[in-house]
Structure 1
Amino acid sequence: MIFRLEGGTPRAGHLAMLNCASSCHAWACLRPAREHQNMDVLFKSTERRRRHRRKAAAQGAIVWKIVNLTGFKVLPLLALLKQLVVLLVSRQQVIEDPATAAITSTTSSGPHQRHSAIVSRLMRNPKTLLQKLLFSSSPNPIFSLWHHPPPPHSYTQIQTYVEVYMKWKKDPYYDSIDSIHKSLELKPIISLKNFFISSSSAPEDNYCIPISAVSKKGSDFGISIKVARFLRNYPSFFEEFEGPLYSLPWFRLTQKAIELDKEERMVYEEFRGDIIGRLKKLILMSGNRKMLPLKVIKGLRWYLGLPDEFFMDPLDYVGDRSFKIVDIEDGLKGLAISEEYGDRKGGKILSMMQKNAKSRGVYSGGADEAIAFPLYPSKGLRLKQKIKDWLDEFQRLPYVSPYDDFSCLNPDSDISEKRVVGLLHELLCLFVEHAAERKSLFCLRKYLGLPQKVHKAFERHPHMFYLSLKNKTCTAILKEAYHDELAIDPHPLAKVRKEYIALMKESVVMLRNKRMKSCGGFHRENICSEDLRSADDESSQLAEA
């Protein structure tokens, strides 16, 4: 290639030649890539045609196998197919393809000529005709072995399930509530205190018992360490002294523990009706059964605030004819209710949500009324927009009371989920701390109509419930109870439990003082040396100033 430059310097001509050479080199590099792309398109189209031919050949082989298996001769079969095609063409149900469409467009408008043209076109190749009849994928096939019309229920609208995944967000406010998280630590202490009172033969001596009377019953009280060590960890409840024989250790209740026990028993007597009413509401959540096994009730005794005397004779403690003992499967006993109980208006029991909505004037007591749940978002918890939209629609759904019949609800519907959330809200309202270990609620799934994955309800509604992971367990907390104290009726035992927890904290101070007293000399030397060192530092700073 010769470049001819006029009126230019040799240097300019040299640069022009270099630029042209570089452009030629770039075109030479791009040309193989373009050819490669064209080859890919050609290869793909060729492969597509080959697959279509193989599919047609396989279908044709199946057609002739069917013909051979039927035992019919080809000519009578073709005559039968010809009559069938004529009949279907007359009813305008022939298989539509580009070839037949072209024939119908070129022929005259007469129906007889159009039908004869289509039939002659199809009958030229009987193999193609059978293939179209058997393997038609048109919306109105003649008869197909593989095509079935969709069932009628497929045309109905189905509401899709919104997968709500919300990341767990820690909230220090709920993790620092002592009445909830110290409650699990207080439970075995109260059990031991009740055992001291019931088994002691010396109430005048602060209910003292030897360690041998309780040393082998740690599992009954939920204690995983030695009972003697456990008692020594709480000197504000249990006082150790030397026994009358063989210098064996004995324990007795402290005076503060005895005073709190008397206050607790007064609450049980004064608010017996309130405690029994909460138990009745729990049983009425079981729907038409109106029954719960005593084993399940015993597992929730700590949250319901039931005394030990209740399980000795439930009917005698209740003293109400609305309760009765029934036999259930596996030889278990159940506690059932023979008549309805609760706040009645027209025979209807109102939940805590319905009471609050009625007091605000947003609920009239009618059926299928929407009641929005109170939401208390934690700080830093943000929801995606699609989850916010779903939550707004969820709040507008009709509220289903946990005391109403739920047998007619679809378990996969959003209304059923709102019923489950409302039931969990009402259940936590009945408990002492308005909180409970999540695993302790699993025993209610069978009897309260809860789904198998009921724990997902707590995760899908973080504005209503908080899941605390303290104490190596998962505790479900009702947020409304700790934001609006007037919205939920407090449990009668809540105040006494807080006083027990305050007494339990005194044990930590007593043990610390005991350790300080046992090694007092060493601590005094360290304190004196630290005081002298700080005094020297202050004097040196003053001298520099």
Structure 2
Amino acid sequence: MFFNFKKSAVKAVKLSYKYKVQSLPFLNFQRYSYVNVYMKWKKDSYLDSVEHIHESIQLKPIIALKNCVVQDPNGCIPISAVSKRGLQLDVPMKVARFLRQYPSIFEEFTGPQYNLPWFRLTPEAAEIDRDEKRVYEECQEELKSRLRKMILMTRENVLPLKIIQGMQWYLGLPNDFLQHPEQNLDESFKFVEMEDGLKGLTVDSGEKIYSVMEKNAMKRGLYTGGPMETIEFPLYPSKGLRLRTKIGNWLQEFQKLPYISPYDDFSNSDQNSDIVEKRLVGVLHELLSLFVEHSAERKKLFCLKKYFGLPQKVHKAFERHPHMFYLSFRNKTCTAILKEAYSNNSAIEKHPLLRVRKKYIKLMKQSEVILRNRRVKNRFSNYNAELDLDSNNLDERGHDMTSCSLEQVM
């Protein structure tokens, strides 16, 4: 929280209305002195316990391997088909070991040749896979819309294909989405060659797109769709966190600044101006609202800086605005979570794929029970085997003793 937004900043906005400046008014916004504000991080037990956020990291390689199985015409694959693709599929260990950790999803059997282990989906996993395909088919337009919005937030309305592929999991797109453009994309999307030799995907802007913030403000009658209107971000303070007076004043002035849509061109604005701070927060808010879990690993968002025109220290925005974003440090990583999505159910539309992922996670959890029961069963079997062994030894000793006594009698 660097900025000290003075009353003169608000006056500058009013002047832009008075003289009806034709160009975007924020291009002439003045810069003011910085205030070094430290915002304390506060643990949020609820957001740290949301399963579909934190289990998503484990679920991703499971879905990737599941897709390898269902894409095979026979619906089953030998371990050799995926054993060397662990890095590509984000599997954190040997693929065979990983598959065996989830017996509720993957069923192992001995193959027809060389006694190799083969894997297929369990009936429960196969049913969820069919449900997932129905969602992709029925919600294809919405998925395209989310991809379109992300591309239109970039400076030049174009993103490299490798960046899109890296964001497919968060956007809820199928793994092969870009491999079948004739099925998944319409005429508004075009493949282009980018300056750095990369292949990219661009999209025609068409009609004006309103962000989630703008739509919600319109519903409340607080926004008419004009430029330089003020929209205050919804704030959700952590329990027990009290702001110092200096920080509270800073936050009030920040909220009074005009809201600049993530879809508006800002290439000619001063990147060190006060208003760019608010636009940056608006971009992150809109981006997370497009994702399935309304969250993402913070490091994964860094690849977007160049194409979204974000500052080098974009990660600081999450720390400076803890009333809007929560940083969770579970799973040995830093996950940025949009608080509004988990505090106001009606504010942000749920992703259609979220329901399916929750089903996969529930099934994934059943693997722990299956493996535990197997360990108990093995222990019981070993214990019975030891008892049998001991009883056999006793029988042999008894037989020997009987023989000896008979010989003595004789």
TM-score (norm 2): 0.84
- Alignment of structure 1 residues 156-171 onto 2, 5 Å: 159-171=32-44
Alpha-carbon separation, structure 2, partners of 1:512 and 1:209: 26
Please state if 1:302 is matched with 2:169: yes
Please state if 1:432 is matched with 2:289: no
Aligned residue for 2:266?
Answer: 406
8 A contact 1:468–1:477 mirrored in 2: yes
- Structure 1 outlier segments of 4+, above 6 Å: 521-524
Could you tell me which of 36, 49, 54 is aligned with 1:176? Answer: 49
Could you tell me which of 273, 279, 295 is aligned with 2:147? Answer: 279
Aligned residue for 2:11?
Answer: none
Could you tell me which of 360, 375, 379 is aligned with 1:515? Answer: 375
Please state if 1:323 is matched with 2:196: no
Equivalent residue pairs, number: 355
Alpha-carbon separation, structure 1, partners of 2:127 and 2:381: 37
Aligned residue for 1:243?
Answer: 111
Displacement of 1:318 in angstroms is 3.0
Alpha-carbon separation, structure 2, partners of 1:208 and 1:448: 42
Displacement of 1:414 in angstroms is 1.9
Displacement of 1:521 in angstroms is 6.3
Q: SS state of the match for residue 229, structure 2?
A: coil
Aligned residue for 1:291?
Answer: 158
Displacement of 1:278 in angstroms is 0.4
Q: SS state of the match for residue 398, structure 1?
A: coil
Q: SS state of the match for residue 296, structure 2?
A: strand
Q: Could you tell which deviates more after superposition, 367-376 or 323-332?
A: 323-332
Could you tell me which of 326, 335, 343 is aligned with 1:475? Answer: 335
Aligned residue for 1:42?
Answer: none
Could you tell me which of 356, 369, 372 is aligned with 2:232? Answer: 372
Displacement of 1:166 in angstroms is 1.3
Displacement of 1:505 in angstroms is 0.3
Aligned residue for 1:336?
Answer: 202
Alpha-carbon separation, structure 2, partners of 1:448 and 1:435: 18
Aligned residue for 1:100?
Answer: none
8 A contact 1:323–1:338 mirrored in 2: yes
Aligned residue for 1:15?
Answer: none
8 A contact 2:152–2:205 mirrored in 1: no
- Spell out, residue by residue over 1:16-52, the C-alpha distance to the aligned partner (whole angstroms, 9 max, x if none): xxxxxxxxxxxxxxxxxxxxxxxxxxxxxxxxxxxxx
8 A contact 1:481–1:488 mirrored in 2: yes
Matched to 1:373, the amino acid is F
Are residues 298 and 249 of structure 1, via their aligned partners in 2, closer, same or farther at CA, if it must alter by over 3 Å?
Answer: same
8 A contact 2:163–2:303 mirrored in 1: yes
8 A contact 2:178–2:184 mirrored in 1: no
Could you tell me which of 385, 396, 410 is aligned with 2:245? Answer: 385
8 A contact 1:309–1:317 mirrored in 2: no
Please state if 1:360 is matched with 2:227: no
Could you tell me which of 423, 446, 451 is aligned with 2:306? Answer: 446
Higher CA-based Rg: 1
Q: SS state of the match for residue 196, structure 2?
A: helix
Q: SS state of the match for residue 271, structure 2?
A: coil
- Spell out, residue by residue over 1:203-249, the C-alpha distance to the aligned partner (whole angstroms, 9 max, x if none): xxxx1211122211111111131111101000011111122223221
8 A contact 1:516–1:523 mirrored in 2: no
RMSD: 1.5
Please state if 1:499 is matched with 2:365: no
TM-score (norm 1): 0.64
Structure 1, unaligned runs of 5 or more: 1-156, 341-346, 525-545
- Alignment of structure 1 residues 100-115 onto 2, 5 Å: none
- Spell out, residue by residue over 1:109-140, the C-alpha distance to the aligned partner (whole angstroms, 9 max, x if none): xxxxxxxxxxxxxxxxxxxxxxxxxxxxxxxx
Aligned residue for 1:348?
Answer: 208
Alpha-carbon separation, structure 1, partners of 2:250 and 2:205: 39
Alpha-carbon separation, structure 1, partners of 2:309 and 2:279: 10
- Spell out, residue by residue over 1:502-540, the C-alpha distance to the aligned partner (whole angstroms, 9 max, x if none): 00000011111111111126899xxxxxxxxxxxxxxxx
Matched to 1:327, the amino acid is E
Displacement of 1:167 in angstroms is 2.0
Are residues 303 and 226 of structure 1, via their aligned partners in 2, closer, same or farther at CA, if it must alter by over 3 Å?
Answer: same
Alpha-carbon separation, structure 2, partners of 1:355 and 1:334: 29
Aligned residue for 1:127?
Answer: none
Alpha-carbon separation, structure 2, partners of 1:360 and 1:441: 31
Are residues 285 and 523 of structure 1, via their aligned partners in 2, closer, same or farther at CA, if it must alter by over 3 Å?
Answer: farther
Q: Which has the higher contact order (CA 8 A, sep 6+)?
A: 2
- Alignment of structure 1 residues 111-150 onto 2, 5 Å: none
Alpha-carbon separation, structure 1, partners of 2:173 and 2:183: 11
Matched to 1:159, the amino acid is Y
8 A contact 2:328–2:337 mirrored in 1: yes
Q: Percent identity?
A: 62
Alpha-carbon separation, structure 2, partners of 1:406 and 1:339: 15
Structure 2, unaligned runs of 5 or more: 1-29, 385-410
